[in-house]
Structure 1
Amino acid sequence: MDARAMNRAACFRTPASLMRKLEEHLFQEDGDEHGAVIGASVIDTGPGLRLLARRLFVAEDGIDYVPGERGYRMLTPEFVLRCVRACAREGLAYLAVHNHPGTDWVAFSGDDMASHRRGYRALLDILDGPPAGALVFARDAVAGDIWLSPQEQVELDHAVVTGRTPRVLHPAPRRPRAADARYDRQARLFGDRGQQILGAQKIGIVGAGGVGSLVNEYLARLGIGHLVAVDHDPIEESNASRVVGARASDWTPRWLPAKIARRLGWKPTPKVRIAERVAKEANPDIRFDAIEADIVDPHAAGRLVDCDAIFLAADTMRARHIVNSICHRYLIPVWQAGTKVHLNNSTGDIADVFSVVRRLVPGESCLWCSGLIDRTRLAEEAASPQQRAAQTYIDEVPNPSVITLNAVAAAHAVDDYLFTTVGLTSPSARPEWFRHHPLIGYFAQLKTASEPGCPQCQNHLAAGPLEPLPVRERSQ
């Protein structure tokens, strides 16, 4: 291809709901070729491009998709113009779609490529910014030709269908390289292909405390290629019993009394720096981004939007709200993991103890729809320190926390991520959330929820940067 940007590639991500509709249209019983257009929001990650499928325009056979003038079939000019104008209004990329026969290998024909050269320069002018391109699907494969400008085009590297049992499609089967010897035992379960998938993953961890520190170590030892940890808190002595890798020297120098250390301005180690140290000791090859900030910071949230998965291990309502939004707007699966100890307010006795794991699937399970984001607490957390003081908030008593309870949640969350990511989860696996109550030895499966018309998981699905995240305003 002319002037191809050899160092860049594109990734296409689509919700399972849109993919089901597309496959029903493309792969009909007649075995023939069919067409459509996808409008996709765009994230430029620097090294590559992410296209998030937001709109599907189905081309009606014989009306919008007709015998071609130079190739087998084509989209009519009227349908193309209607779709590209709709994409331009919403700031979406235009992707023409059709299917070829076959299963795990697909490519554009010569006629396809010639039509791209003839038409996409004009479409780029109408779109005025977003790319134009094409996707061609076989049953389990996809190829893409994406035009960023008349001078720069990129190929599609792969597509991800972000459902309960996610799928990854490539233009052709890929032969994995042999796994590193240090991962020999787990590669016997995941296979060389599974280990290669893990090595290519970029995973976000929000909260590097009790649960997050365990998730961090598990992922680093499993061979994840890139971790991004977000936490604004420094370590405290009370964290020592549950933050993996914490040392006494992290909260006070051994040779200096704590009172004098504070007077001299010595600061304890940020939790994300401890997480970075632990990860690199476990895996010297790992790439690690330690983000010393609250997730409500626009910069911190922005570092997660090109992740392959996110673990939410911070339990503020604002953290839940922001990460839930990232999940649905950027089509990134999320695993929320945590523990709770409930006390009887009148007696002080332990009422309940549980570890919980909730997997958020883009467009299919939502913290808002499940009633797990409290609007009152969300408003309280959004108040400034001065506003909180003026409203005379009572200081909260720290919740009990035990490393073994955290480990149950962290291990189940990482296990679920592993098995879904490397393709070992059965399509019949139940999608319910998990909760363990050790006081009564009970494992609960909880129903997930996604309501029609939800502004988070439905109206903003795959909106990407076209809809701002609910983060703190930069002036605050």
Structure 2
Amino acid sequence: MAGTAVTTAWSVTMTGEQWTALRDHLFPGDGDEHGAVLRCGIARGPRGNRLLVKDLALAKDGVDYVRGDRGYRKLTAQFVADNIDVCADEHLAYLAVHNHGGRDSVAFSGTDMASHDRGYPALLDINDGVPVGALVFASGAVAGDLWLENGERAEIAHLRVVGRPRVDLTPQPAPAAVADPGFDRQTRIFGDRGQAVLAASKVAVVGLGGAGSVISEYLALLGVGELVLIDPDRIDQTNLPRVVGARRTDALTWLRDEKRPAFVRAIGDGFAKHKVYIARRVAREASAAVQVTAVPRSVLDPDVARMLLDCDHIFLAADSALVRRLVNSITHQYLIPSTQVGAKVSVLDGAVTDVFSVSRMSAPGSGCLQCNGLIPAWKLTEEATSPEQRKRQRYIDDEDVHAPSVITLNAVAASRAVDDWLMAIGGLVEPDVSRDHWVSYYPMSDDVVETEPAKRPGCLHCGAGRFARGDAVPLPVVPRPADV
């Protein structure tokens, strides 16, 4: 099969837990060669196509990985057949894996490439055109060869481990350009290479209210290259003390004053600035280089939800069960880490009973928001009904009663969320830290509570039916009568 180069980039994404298992298998300290197979879902997007590692099959030395006929070692025919059959049944991509010596650079040998030429056309046929290929690892590098339908062939030039810390492997180190001097204080922490990682990052913020507006500004100031900002709401007078960069002119307060006639207030309501446009303005003032996509719509609209699928991280700052369910599913289905951020003040009979800020950073494959009771079924049902139905189901008409809030609580949650993400991608997380980091701060008692999220077997959000399936499984987007 003659391979022709394609321009679309391919990469591999795996979880920290998977990487630990694979690395320990390939590099146990004996200096020898070892093998495995990765079975992967597929996600196609404008920034390239990703192979999402769903299952890791480690080849047992001397049983599944044996002395080769033409090369040093090989996977046995039975091991290959068993794994390609699973891939064909589940429409997964197939990647054979082995390791070479060395550390920071690696490439396939001529013997490796000849074996691909002999075997991969048949495997591609068995897999009904779903990609098949191989990865070769050094201890700090990876190279890949991928066979596609229609006679196409592509290199896999990047593997990302979405853990804490995040790990990015390439065939050889890429030189980092000298960072903008304006980031001098940051590069003293992360180096020029770290600043380049920030500049290459695409990050989404869902919900641009009190917490989301702070997060968006922080990301722009840090030098993140691309922001996707999603929120259907417009600014109003009650938001002004909490939304970063909001102006009274944005809210059209003189038109929306309660003393104005209803038709005048309606004009003000319809022409007040969307929160995403305020956040875009603030981000551009903070960074001349940032690219901002501002979307004044609900993230539950299918085409808007798809904008999240090639982001590197998602900050969820919207207090909606339907939106939590969507982002939660994307995290595990597309292996995109996310952080749920918020603050809450509870009041009973006019007295403040509880105050807290939360930052919940979730890694793919870990215990999810659903597993931990943070997406209640009653709230999903309520949000999926029309506003009129919701009012009829309540004993009092409290549709316009808003919870107490203050910007400092949002800033605490936002700072912790962005810090956790920054340390992870900057490689400054200690090796033994939890891959999930859920932190709650209670200022009334000055308590900081760290929680290890539970994982429930058979969960429909992070379990086998959705995990790493990428484009093969529909997203839980349920358009509703009112914006979320």
Specify the TM-score bucket, using the shorter chain as the normaliser.
Answer: over 0.9
CA offset at residue 265 of structure 1?
A: 8.6
> What secondary structure is seen at the aligned counterpart in 1 of 2:4?
coil
**Alignment-mate amino acid for residue 475 of structure 2:** L
Q: Within 2, Cα distance between the matches of 1:475 and 1:341?
A: 28
CA offset at residue 35 of structure 1?
A: 1.5
8 Å CA contact retained: 2:165, 2:428: no
**Alignment-mate amino acid for residue 11 of structure 2:** C
- 1:316-395 maps to which residues of 2 (within 5 A)? 316-344=320-348, 347-392=349-394, 394-395=397-398
Q: Within 2, Cα distance between the matches of 1:297 and 1:8?
A: 27
Task: Look up the match of 1:472.
Answer: 478
Q: Within 2, Cα distance between the matches of 1:395 and 1:475?
A: 18
8 Å CA contact retained: 1:105, 1:141: yes
State whether structure 2 residue 442 is matched by structure 1 residue 441.
no
Q: Which moved more, 1:253-262 or 1:113-122?
A: 253-262
> What secondary structure is seen at the aligned counterpart in 2 of 1:339?
strand
- 1:391-402 maps to which residues of 2 (within 5 A)? 391-392=393-394, 394-396=397-399, 397-402=401-406
8 Å CA contact retained: 2:136, 2:143: yes
Task: Look up the match of 1:406.
Answer: 410
TM-score where L is the length of structure 1: 0.93
8 Å CA contact retained: 1:355, 1:436: yes
Q: Within 2, Cα distance between the matches of 1:265 and 1:358?
A: 33
Q: Within 2, Cα distance between the matches of 1:328 and 1:116?
A: 31
CA offset at residue 260 of structure 1?
A: 3.2
Q: Within 2, Cα distance between the matches of 1:198 and 1:74?
A: 40
CA offset at residue 363 of structure 1?
A: 1.4
Q: Within 2, Cα distance between the matches of 1:266 and 1:37?
A: 56
CA offset at residue 256 of structure 1?
A: 10
CA offset at residue 437 of structure 1?
A: 1.6
CA offset at residue 228 of structure 1?
A: 0.8
State whether structure 2 residue 54 is matched by structure 1 residue 49.
no
8 Å CA contact retained: 2:331, 2:337: yes
Q: Within 2, Cα distance between the matches of 1:33 and 1:57?
A: 16
CA offset at residue 17 of structure 1?
A: 2.3
Q: Deviations over 1:362-396 (max 9, x none)?
A: 11231122222211112111223343244346324
Q: Deviations over 1:152-194 (max 9, x none)?
A: 3222232111223322222222221110122112111111111
TM-score where L is the length of structure 2: 0.91
CA offset at residue 67 of structure 1?
A: 2.4
**Alignment-mate amino acid for residue 274 of structure 2:** P
State whether structure 2 residue 234 is matched by structure 1 residue 234.
yes
Equivalenced residues, count: 473
Task: Look up the match of 1:70.
Answer: 70
- 1:301-316 maps to which residues of 2 (within 5 A)? 301-316=305-320
State whether structure 2 residue 468 is matched by structure 1 residue 462.
yes
8 Å CA contact retained: 2:35, 2:58: yes
Q: Structure 1 199/87 Cα, relative in aligned 2: closer, same or farther at 3 Å?
A: same
Q: Which moved more, 1:413-422 or 1:27-36?
A: 27-36
Q: Percent identity?
A: 48
8 Å CA contact retained: 1:252, 1:261: no
> What secondary structure is seen at the aligned counterpart in 2 of 1:239?
coil
**Alignment-mate amino acid for residue 326 of structure 1:** I
Q: Where does the alignment leave 5 or more consecutive residues of structure 2 unmatched?
A: none
Task: Look up the match of 1:3.
Answer: 4
**Alignment-mate amino acid for residue 433 of structure 1:** W
Task: Look up the match of 2:264.
Answer: 260
8 Å CA contact retained: 1:333, 1:361: yes
CA offset at residue 264 of structure 1?
A: 8.8
CA offset at residue 61 of structure 1?
A: 2.9
**Alignment-mate amino acid for residue 176 of structure 1:** A
8 Å CA contact retained: 1:42, 1:130: no
CA offset at residue 308 of structure 1?
A: 0.8
Q: Deviations over 1:211-259 (max 9, x none)?
A: 0011001001111011111111111121111111212222228799875
Q: Deviations over 1:236-294 (max 9, x none)?
A: 12111111121222222879987537359952221112112221222222121112222
Q: Within 2, Cα distance between the matches of 1:100 and 1:252?
A: 65
Q: Which moved more, 1:166-175 or 1:48-57?
A: 166-175
8 Å CA contact retained: 2:37, 2:58: yes
Q: Deviations over 1:290-337 (max 9, x none)?
A: 122222222222111111111010111112111111111111111111
8 Å CA contact retained: 2:44, 2:471: no
Q: Within 2, Cα distance between the matches of 1:107 and 1:348?
A: 68
Q: Structure 1 384/51 Cα, relative in aligned 2: closer, same or farther at 3 Å?
A: same
Q: Which moved more, 1:351-360 or 1:117-126?
A: 117-126
CA offset at residue 473 of structure 1?
A: 5.4
CA offset at residue 412 of structure 1?
A: 1.1
8 Å CA contact retained: 1:161, 1:168: yes
Q: Which moved more, 1:387-396 or 1:39-48?
A: 387-396
